[in-house]
Structure 1
Amino acid sequence: MMRVGRIERYVMGRVLGSVGAALAVISAVILLVEFVDLSRTVGVRVDVGVGQVFWLTLLRSPSLIQILLPFVFLFGGIGAFVGLNRRSELVAMRAAGVSAWRFILPSAGAAFAIGVLAIVALNPLAAALNGRFEAERGQLMQNYLGDIPQDIWLRQGDERTQIVIHAKTRDTVQGYVRLRGVSLFIYTKSPTGAPIFRQRIEASEARLMPGFWQLKDVREATAGESSVHSDTLSIRSTLDAESAMERFSSPEAISFWRLPDAIRLTEQAGFSAAGYRLRLFQLLATPLLYAAMSILAAAFSLRLARLGGLAGLAGAGVALGFVLFFFNQFAGALAKAGIIPLFAAAWAPAVVALLSGLSLLFFTEDG
């Protein structure tokens, strides 16, 4: 059983403090870069003040920070262990017979726990703020983009029916999704699974209520029959307001808790849910990735300072972190293209980082 004594708590505290400092620095850089980008893309097109741009920056930044959190643990861990090494504290610990595993594993465990907290709490918060960012930016840019076509396509369905929904514009009124200039193409599934066109419905407006679409100024046209006009019509819906809005969002903008429903509804509608499944697997691998980055940071920082080459080794650790980041993006692209399995693409970066750190530690500590 791993014992967390005074030495372990001291090293863990130094590592977490350094991780906090790295988080502050990276967050400040993200805020600055995002503020400049929004000032360039939004501020020069619509009449907004500095306060509004900064508010949009605050809404957008948590999702960007979440992407770079593995670097926070890598940079913070390297900074902490290099500092302990340069002050000869690691030398004193190891001379007293303390194995490096005693103070590395508690830090890795803390990183794993923070990873769990990140996916169950930080990710939903970042997704919610990102959704609000998209909505507020869309409202600000509405007049600027007013002349540009904004066709909307949705799809819903179950085991028997598929409905393709096309609309010219969309907006959100009192929490409800409202579409204008709506066309619904209704298909039934044959025994072989092939879609059979059954009906087309035109409506001036469609509002998504809990469990159904409320249509206004409706004209129904069935194959081989004359059209029928009605003032209102209700059609059962398998979507809710949040899942409908998620169809306009990337998988990264959907919270961890909403991903299983997004996968189910997307597959029911006949679409591929590969992007959502990949995102879910990546989030599940997040705690292991954070722990692996913590171990990797220690592995590149334990070389005795008097032997020289510590700065070069730490720099190699930083470079390997960037390599793992691009490897993660590359594996995700291959998975979305169907070349490699989604599960392997999501877990491979974390496993490679963990095995790299453990291999280097075994070589350093045990020869």
Structure 2
Amino acid sequence: MSNRTSLPVPWLRLGRIERYVLVQQGRSLAIALGVIAALIMLIDFVEISRGVGSDVDLPAARILGLMLLKSPQVVIQLLPFVFLFGTLAAFVGLNRRSELIAMRAAGISAWRFVLPAAGAAFMVGVLTVTALGPAASAADGLFQRERARLSGAAGGLDAPQAVWIREGDDTRQMIIRAEQQDRASARLLDVSFFIYSNDAAGSRTFSERIDAASASLSAGRWRLVDAVGAQIGQRAVRYATLDLPSSLAEDEAFERFARPQSTSFWALPAQIGRVENAGFSTTAYRLRLQQLLATPLMFAAMSMLAAAFSLRLMRLGDLARMSVAAVLLGFGFFFVNQAASAFGSAEVIPAWLAAWLPPLLTALAAFTLLFYTEDG
């Protein structure tokens, strides 16, 4: 004698009904993605035209190419809303055509078509983190370099902004401060090197300061031009050029300050190690890594939340009210995610908690609503 439960055992096996629901979800997701991507591309096109296009006379095709490099990163950040709106539209459509009512009347549990939809969203999340995200990060990095090159070609340096770099090993540490950076020629301008020596006990002692008109990183060394160095108790010495050994890779003086959001998933662990070895805080990078790891769960939770609200329409019969409630709840979890990120960046809460709390809350809300819908 077999007992039927609301959660079927063979939910991993996709039958005809599950495949049909997945097809409907895929179509709605494609439409939602197209609408959101079109809006983002339009905004980016206008922004690039008013930004880079105002410095350099660029044809429309060139601006379009820059837009295609910049927009994917923003689209990926908004993918949770694609799953929220797309899944909601798919299940609402099934409800309006009374297809969900027929499925439920036939004794089919809601878990049979909700879990495959969530599983598909989870797999898309894995693909996004491992493949689409790194490609978008690379495109965004190319856009940043191209924008800097175009701005440099227009005869302007980056806006004055102090740059701080720290590097070294167990015996020596260097703190580098530059008043300005010229990305076009990969140089730090009006730069000061503060050199410290470490003893066996780990104590750090200031040993020398070197000021230079410019510094460039190449072949494992800093090349200083028009430099003046002074050690404690000694007179200043002027150098036309001076080389200092460096543990940084070429161009890392600029790349290490890239936003964590522009760093791909595969590059984050190495980036965390480099930043940590240089003595800087890695909180922002660790938070970004945890957020990427939680992305598949966020996609699945958004999909389940939208489906759960759509299923309740069969009993409540209030399509507009429940749809608006689902959208508002999705935005609410988005703001929770932003608040958690802010707390994590400020080290008020651990980075892993700030990253995993929003998707876990979303998933718990979706499961609670689904259990209530199924079991009353």
Question: d(CA) in 2 for partners of 1:270 and 1:25?
Answer: 44
| 1:297 equivalent in alignment to 2:309 | no
Shift of 1:197: 1.2
1:147/1:107 Cα in 2 relative to 1: closer, same or farther (>3 Å)? Answer: closer
The answer on whether the counterparts of 2:313 and 2:322 sit within 8 Å (CA) in structure 1 is no
- Which deviations, in whole Å up to 9, do the C-alpha atoms of 1:103-158 show, x marking residues without a partner? 11111111111111111112211111111222222233334744953543322123
| 1:340 equivalent in alignment to 2:352 | no
Shift of 1:71: 0.3
Shift of 1:4: 1.4
The answer on whether the counterparts of 1:238 and 1:265 sit within 8 Å (CA) in structure 2 is no
**Equivalences for 1:276-291 in 2 at 5 Å?**
276-291=285-300
Give the one of 236, 239, 249 matched to 2:245.
Answer: 236
1:240/1:271 Cα in 2 relative to 1: closer, same or farther (>3 Å)? Answer: same
Question: d(CA) in 2 for partners of 1:146 and 1:224?
Answer: 37
The answer on whether the counterparts of 2:73 and 2:140 sit within 8 Å (CA) in structure 1 is yes
- What residue is the counterpart of 1:10 in the other structure? 20
- What residue is the counterpart of 1:275 in the other structure? 284
| 1:41 equivalent in alignment to 2:48 | no
- Which deviations, in whole Å up to 9, do the C-alpha atoms of 1:243-302 show, x marking residues without a partner? 433333211111111111222222222221111111111111001000101111100111
Farther-moved stretch of structure 1 (186-195 vs 82-91): 186-195
The answer on whether the counterparts of 2:149 and 2:184 sit within 8 Å (CA) in structure 1 is no
- What residue is the counterpart of 1:254 in the other structure? 263
| 1:156 equivalent in alignment to 2:164 | no
RMSD: 2.4
- Which deviations, in whole Å up to 9, do the C-alpha atoms of 1:321-356 show, x marking residues without a partner? 111111111111112222222111110110000000
- What residue is the counterpart of 1:112 in the other structure? 122
For residue 210 of structure 2, give the secondary structure of its aligned residue in structure 1: strand
- What residue is the counterpart of 1:363 in the other structure? 372
Which amino acid is the alignment partner of residue 153 of structure 1?
W
- Which deviations, in whole Å up to 9, do the C-alpha atoms of 1:65-84 show, x marking residues without a partner? 11100000111100111111
For residue 311 of structure 2, give the secondary structure of its aligned residue in structure 1: coil
For residue 312 of structure 1, give the secondary structure of its aligned residue in structure 2: helix
The answer on whether the counterparts of 1:45 and 1:144 sit within 8 Å (CA) in structure 2 is no
Farther-moved stretch of structure 1 (245-254 vs 273-282): 245-254
1:146/1:263 Cα in 2 relative to 1: closer, same or farther (>3 Å)? Answer: closer
For residue 200 of structure 1, give the secondary structure of its aligned residue in structure 2: strand
- What residue is the counterpart of 1:266 in the other structure? 275
- What residue is the counterpart of 1:76 in the other structure? 86
**Equivalences for 1:314-329 in 2 at 5 Å?**
314-329=323-338
The answer on whether the counterparts of 2:220 and 2:250 sit within 8 Å (CA) in structure 1 is no
- What residue is the counterpart of 2:181 in the other structure? 169
Q: Gapped runs of 5+ residues in structure 1?
A: none
Farther-moved stretch of structure 1 (153-162 vs 350-359): 153-162
1:359/1:131 Cα in 2 relative to 1: closer, same or farther (>3 Å)? Answer: same
Which amino acid is the alignment partner of residue 174 of structure 2?
I
Which amino acid is the alignment partner of residue 356 of structure 2?
W
| Residue-pair matches, total | 364
1:180/1:147 Cα in 2 relative to 1: closer, same or farther (>3 Å)? Answer: closer
Question: d(CA) in 2 for partners of 1:147 and 1:208?
Answer: 18
1:147/1:157 Cα in 2 relative to 1: closer, same or farther (>3 Å)? Answer: closer
Farther-moved stretch of structure 1 (350-359 vs 40-49): 40-49
| 1:179 equivalent in alignment to 2:188 | yes
For residue 289 of structure 1, give the secondary structure of its aligned residue in structure 2: helix
The answer on whether the counterparts of 1:246 and 1:254 sit within 8 Å (CA) in structure 2 is no
State TM-score, norm by structure 1. 0.90
| 1:28 equivalent in alignment to 2:38 | yes
The answer on whether the counterparts of 2:158 and 2:182 sit within 8 Å (CA) in structure 1 is no
For residue 14 of structure 1, give the secondary structure of its aligned residue in structure 2: helix
The answer on whether the counterparts of 1:243 and 1:262 sit within 8 Å (CA) in structure 2 is no
Shift of 1:45: 4.4
Identity level (%) = 51
Q: Gapped runs of 5+ residues in structure 2?
A: 1-9
1:138/1:363 Cα in 2 relative to 1: closer, same or farther (>3 Å)? Answer: same
Which amino acid is the alignment partner of residue 86 of structure 1?
R
The answer on whether the counterparts of 2:84 and 2:306 sit within 8 Å (CA) in structure 1 is yes
Farther-moved stretch of structure 1 (349-358 vs 39-48): 39-48
1:363/1:147 Cα in 2 relative to 1: closer, same or farther (>3 Å)? Answer: closer
Farther-moved stretch of structure 1 (9-18 vs 133-142): 133-142
For residue 239 of structure 1, give the secondary structure of its aligned residue in structure 2: coil
Shift of 1:161: 2.4
